[in-house]
Amino acid sequence: MRAVIVEDLALLREGIVALLREHDVDVVAQAEDAQGLLRIVAGHKPDLAVVDVRLPPTFTDEGLRAAIEARRRQPGLNILILSQYVEPIYTAELLESGEGGVGYLLKERVGEVRSFMDAVHRVASGGTALDREVVSELVRQRTGGAGDDALASLTPREREVLELMAEGRTNAAIARHMVVTPGAVEKHVTNIFGKLDLPATNDDHRRVLAVLTFLRSA
**DSSP states along 74-90:** STT--EEEEESS--HHH
Contact 64, 84 (CB under 8 A): no
Nearest to 129 by CA among 86, 165, 77, 75: 165
* Vertex 199: Cα angle to 197 and 144 (nearest 5): 45
Contact 110, 14 (CB under 8 A): no
**By CB under 8 A, what part of segment 16-55 binds another protein?**
16, 18-19, 22, 54
Closest CB 183 distance from another protein, rounded Å: 27
Q: What are the two backbone dihedrals, phi and then psi, of residue 197, each rounded to the nearest 5 degrees?
A: 60, 45
Closest CB 18 distance from another protein, rounded Å: 8
Which of 73, 88, 152, 155 binds another protein (CB under 8 A)? It is 88
Determine if 150 is a binding residue for another protein (CB under 8 A).
Answer: no
Closest CB 205 distance from another protein, rounded Å: 26
Q: Which stretch binds another protein (CB under 8 A): 15-23, 28-36, 150-158, 178-186?
A: 15-23
d(CA 94, CA 91): 5
Determine if 136 is a binding residue for another protein (CB under 8 A).
Answer: no
Closest CB 26 distance from another protein, rounded Å: 18
Residue count of the chain: 218
d(CA 67, CA 65): 5
Closest CB 60 distance from another protein, rounded Å: 4
CB closer to another protein, 91 vs 128 = 91
d(CA 62, CA 64): 5
Chain residues that interact with another protein, rule: CB under 8 A: 9, 11-12, 15-16, 18-19, 22, 54, 59-61, 84-85, 87-89, 107-108, 110-114, 116, 137, 140-141, 144-147, 218
